[in-house]
C-alpha cells in the first residue's frame, strides 16, 4: 500500500508533471523556440517547499524496509530531489533550449547550417571532406556557445544535489533515491570493455577500412555517425512505409500501436525540431507523443521502434496506478521496452517478414547491426565510467575534457572532441539506465522466445501478455526486480555478448 500522507503531493505533482512535459514537448518538437519552465515551477512552488521535501524524506526514513510504502516513498523522494534541483536549474535549461533551437553553425566555406540539423547532415554526408567540414563547424559552435553553459549547469547541479542533505555526495544521493548502486555497474562496464576489446579491435579496423576507406587511426566521431547511418540499406527501408509497416507488425502481435488514440505520432520534419527523437508522455496514459525528425533509411526504423516502445509503455500503464508508479521510477524499465522493439532490427525473421532486405542482403545487414550494437555498448560503458568521474568530484573540471576524450576514444576507436565533454553527458547517470535496459532487454527477449516462440513479435498472444505483465505495471519495479520476476535471472552483459557475437557471425 502507498502512503496516504503524500496524497496531496501526488495530486498536485501530476498536474505539475503534465504542464512540464507539455512544455518540453512543444519546445523540443519545434512548436515553439523557447521553453517557459520557470512559470510552471512558480505555479507549483508548494510542491518544492522545504516542508514538502522533509515530509517525503521523513516518510521514506520511517517506512518499513522492503515494503510498498518504502517503495512509494523512495520514488517520491527521488522525484522531489530531482524537481528541486531542476527548479533551481530552470533558467539555465531555458537558455540552453533556446540556444539549441536558434544556433547556427558557420562553416569555413561560408555556409550556415542550423545546429539542430548538423548531426543529420554529418550522418548523410558521403564525402568525408564535407563531413569533417560540418563537424569542425559544429565543434566550434559548441565549444564557444553550448559547452560553457553546460559546464556551469553541471557544476551547479552537483552542488545542489550535495546540498540536499540526503547523502554526503552526488553519487551517494543518486544511489539512495534511485535504488541503483552505480559502483558495481561501473565495474561491469570496465570488465565488458576488457572482455570485448579483441572482438572490437578486429571488427572496428576492418569495417572502417571497408566502408569508409580511411585509416582506422584517423576515424572521428563524425565518421562514426556516417558509418552507423549505413545508407547502403536505405532502399530496403522506405520512409513512406515505415509507420504502416510497424503499426501492422505491432497489430499482428495483438497490440494497437496508437493505444486507442492515446499515442500520437509526430514524425514530420520541422524547423527547430530536435534531431534526436524522443517520447513525451504528457498525460499518463491518456496523451503520449512519439517525436521523430527523419534522418532516412534503417536508422529511422530503429529509432521509430525505440520510441514506440516508450510510447506503448506509457500508453498502456494502468490508469488507476498511483502517480509515482505511472510517472516515476527506474527509467531502465521504459528504456528496456524501447530496446525490446528496436532490437527487432536484429531479428532475421522480423527483417525478412517486414522489410525488403531479402535473404541475399540479410547477412551483411546483421553484421552491420552487430558492429553498431557493440559500438554503442562500448560507448555507453565508457560514458558511465566518465560520468562517474565527472559527478564523483575527484577530477577537476579543467581536467575533464581530456579524460572525456581519452575514455570515449579509447573505448570506441573513434576520436572524440574536447568540446563535447560537458555536452555529451546524460542527466543523472542516464547512461546507467541505458546499460541496465540493454541487459534487461536481452532477458525479456529470451523470455518472450521461450513463451511465444522465435517469432513472438507476430504471435497474437504475446502482445496482451506484454501489456498485462510488463507495460501495465508502469515503473513500480526496479530493472533488476523486473528481471527476476519475468525471467528468473540477474542483470549482466553475458546475454548481450552472446547475441552480438551471433550477429557478427551472420551469413
**Is 174 a member of any domain?**
no
53, 69, 102 - which closes a domain: 102
Please indicate, yes or no, whether residues 254 and 371 belong to a single structural domain of this protein.
yes
What pLDDT score does 457 carry?
98
Cell numbers given for 417: 572532441
**Is 55 a member of any domain?**
yes
* Rounded Cα distance, 183 and 390, in Å: 14
Cell numbers given for 103: 544556433
* Rounded Cα distance, 301 and 241, in Å: 10
**Is 139 a member of any domain?**
no
Contacts by residues 477-481 (CB-CB < 8 Å, ≥ 24 positions apart)? 477/329, 477/330, 477/333, 478/179, 478/180, 478/329, 478/330, 478/332, 478/333, 479/330, 479/332, 479/333, 479/336, 479/436, 479/437, 479/439, 479/440, 480/436
Residue 285: cis peptide before it, omega within 30 degrees of 0: yes
Burial (CB < 10 A; 0-12, 13-18, 19+), residue 309, is buried
What pLDDT score does 68 carry?
92
Intra-chain end-to-end CA distance of the chain, in Å: 53
**Is 168 a member of any domain?**
no
| 415: DSSP letter | B
Please indicate, yes or no, whether residues 87 and 200 belong to a single structural domain of this protein.
no
Q: 424: helix, coil or strand?
A: coil
Please indicate, yes or no, whether residues 98 and 196 belong to a single structural domain of this protein.
no
**Is 247 a member of any domain?**
yes
pLDDT profile of the chain (507 residues), mean per 10 = 76 96 95 92 93 93 91 95 93 94 95 93 93 97 97 96 94 95 97 95 93 94 91 92 96 97 95 92 98 90 97 98 96 98 97 95 94 96 98 96 98 97 94 97 96 97 97 96 96 94 87
75, 102, 129 - which closes a domain: 102
Please indicate, yes or no, whether residues 359 and 222 belong to a single structural domain of this protein.
yes
pLDDT tens digits for range 245-278: 999 999 999 999 999 999 999 999 998 898 889 9
What pLDDT score does 231 carry?
86
**Directed axis angle between helix 182-195 and helix 170-178, to 10°?**
100
**Structural domain boundaries, residue 22:** 1-102
What pLDDT score does 11 carry?
94
Please indicate, yes or no, whether residues 70 and 217 belong to a single structural domain of this protein.
no
**Is 424 a member of any domain?**
yes
Please indicate, yes or no, whether residues 364 and 463 belong to a single structural domain of this protein.
yes
- How many separate domains does the chain show? 2
* Rounded Cα distance, 152 and 276, in Å: 23
67, 102, 137 - which closes a domain: 102
The owner of cell 546475454 is: 495
What pLDDT score does 1 carry?
44
Q: In sequence order, which residues have a C-beta less than 8 Å from that of residue 209 and are 6 or more positions away?
A: 215, 216
CATH code: domain of residue 272: 1.10.1370.30
What pLDDT score does 506 carry?
83
What pLDDT score does 2 carry?
55
**Is 94 a member of any domain?**
yes
Please indicate, yes or no, whether residues 199 and 318 belong to a single structural domain of this protein.
yes
**Is 263 a member of any domain?**
yes
Q: In sequence order, which residues have a C-beta less than 8 Å from that of residue 189 and are 6 or more positions away?
A: 381, 382, 384, 385, 435
Amino acid at each position: 500500500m502507498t502512503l496516504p500522507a503524500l496524497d496531496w503531493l501526488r495530486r498536485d505533482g501530476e498536474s505539475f508533471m503534465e504542464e512540464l512535459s507539455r512544455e518540453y514537448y512543444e519546445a523540443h518538437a519545434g512548436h515553439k523556440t523557447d521553453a517557459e519552465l520557470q512559470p510552471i515551477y512558480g505555479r507549483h512552488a508548494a510542491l518544492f517547499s522545504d516542508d514538502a521535501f522533509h515530509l517525503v524524506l521523513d516518510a521514506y526514513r520511517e517506512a518499513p524496509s522492503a515494503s510498498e510504502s518504502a517503495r512509494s516513498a523512495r520514488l517520491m523522494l527521488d522525484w522531489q530531489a530531482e524537481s528541486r534541483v531542476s527548479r533551481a536549474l530552470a533558467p539555465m535549461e531555458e537558455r540552453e533550449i533556446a540556444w539549441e533551437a536558434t544556433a547556427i553553425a558557420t562553416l569555413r566555406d561560408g555556409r550556415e547550417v542550423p545546429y539542430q540539423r548538423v548531426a543529420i547532415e554529418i550522418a548523410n554526408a558521403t564525402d568525408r571532406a564535407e563531413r569533417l567540414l560540418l563537424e569542425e563547424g559544429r565543434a566550434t559552435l559548441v565549444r564557444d556557445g553550448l559547452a560553457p553553459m553546460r559546464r556551469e549547469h553541471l557544476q551547479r547541479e552537483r552542488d545542489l544535489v550535495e546540498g540536499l542533505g540526503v547523502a554526503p555526495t552526488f553519487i551517494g544521493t543518486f544511489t539512495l533515491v534511485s535504488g541503483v548502486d552505480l559502483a558495481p555497474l561501473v565495474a561491469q562496464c570496465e570488465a565488458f570493455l576488457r572482455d570485448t576489446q579483441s572482438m572490437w579491435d578486429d571488427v572496428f579496423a576492418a569495417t572502417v577500412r571497408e566502408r569508409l576507406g580511411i585509416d582506422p587511426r584517423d576515424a572521428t566521431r563524425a565518421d562514426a555517425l556516417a558509418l552507423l547511418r549505413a545508407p547502403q540499406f536505405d532502399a530496403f527501408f522506405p520512409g513512406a512505409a515505415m509507420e504502416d509497416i510497424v503499426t501492422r507488425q505491432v497489430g499482428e502481435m495483438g497490440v494497437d500501436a496508437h493505444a486507442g488514440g492515446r499515442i500520437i505520432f509526430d514524425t514530420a520534419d520541422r524547423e527547430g525540431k530536435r534531431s534526436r527523437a524522443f517520447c513525451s508522455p504528457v498525460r499518463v496514459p491518456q496523451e503520449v507523443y512519439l517525436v521523430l525528425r527523419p534522418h532516412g533509411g534503417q536508422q529511422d526504423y530503429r529509432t521509430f521502434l525505440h520510441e514506440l516502445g516508450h510510447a506503448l509503455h506509457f500508453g498502456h500503464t494502468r490508469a488507476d496506478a498511483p502517480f509515482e508508479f505511472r510517472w516515476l521510477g527506474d527509467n531502465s524499465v521504459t528504456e528496456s521496452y524501447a530496446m525490446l522493439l528496436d532490437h527487432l532490427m536484429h531479428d532475421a525473421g522480423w527483417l525478412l517478414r517486414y522489410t525488403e532486405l531479402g535473404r541475399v542482403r540479410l547477412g551483411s545487414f546483421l553484421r552491420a547491426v552487430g558492429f553498431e550494437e557493440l559500438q554503442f555498448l562500448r560507448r555507453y560503458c565508457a560514458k558511465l565510467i566518465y560520468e562517474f568521474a565527472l559527478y564523483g568530484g575527484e577530477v577537476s573540471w579543467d581536467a575533464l575534457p581530456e579524460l572525456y576524450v581519452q575514455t570515449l576514444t579509447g573505448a570506441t576507436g573513434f576520436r572524440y572532441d574536447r568540446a563535447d565533454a560537458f555536452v555529451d553527458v546524460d542527466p543523472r547517470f542516464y547512461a546507467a539506465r541505458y546499460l541496465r535496459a540493454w541487459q534487461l532487454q536481452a532477458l525479456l527477449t529470451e523470455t518472450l522466445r521461450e513463451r511465444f516462440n522465435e517469432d513472438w513479435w507476430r504471435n497474437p498472444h504475446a502482445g496482451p501478455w506484454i501489456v498485462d505483465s510488463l507495460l501495465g505495471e508502469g515503473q513500480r519495479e526496479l530493472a533488476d526486480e523486473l528481471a527476476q520476476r519475468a525471467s528468473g535471472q540477474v542483470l549482466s552483459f553475458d546475454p548481450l555478448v552472446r547475441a552480438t557475437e551471433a550477429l557478427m557471425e551472420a551469413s
